[in-house]
Amino acid sequence: YMSPEVLRMQSYGVKTDVWGLGTIFYELCSLHKLFEMTGKPLELVQAMMAWVRPEPFPEQMGYPKEFYELCCAMLTKDVDQRPTISELLAREGMMREGVLALEQEIEWPESLVPPLDPTVGAPSSPTAEENGKPGRRFSSLAVHVESA
pLDDT in tens, 49-108: 888 788 899 888 888 888 899 999 999 999 999 999 888 887 777 778 888 888 999 998
For residue range 109-129, what is the model confidence (pLDDT) as tens digits? 888 888 775 554 444 443 333
| Widest CA span in the chain | 57
Domain boundaries, the chain: 4-83, 85-148
DSSP class of residue 49 equals H
CATH level 2 (architecture), domain 4-83:
Orthogonal Bundle (1.10)
Q: Quick one: which of 129, 105, 101, 128 has its CA closest to 113?
A: 101
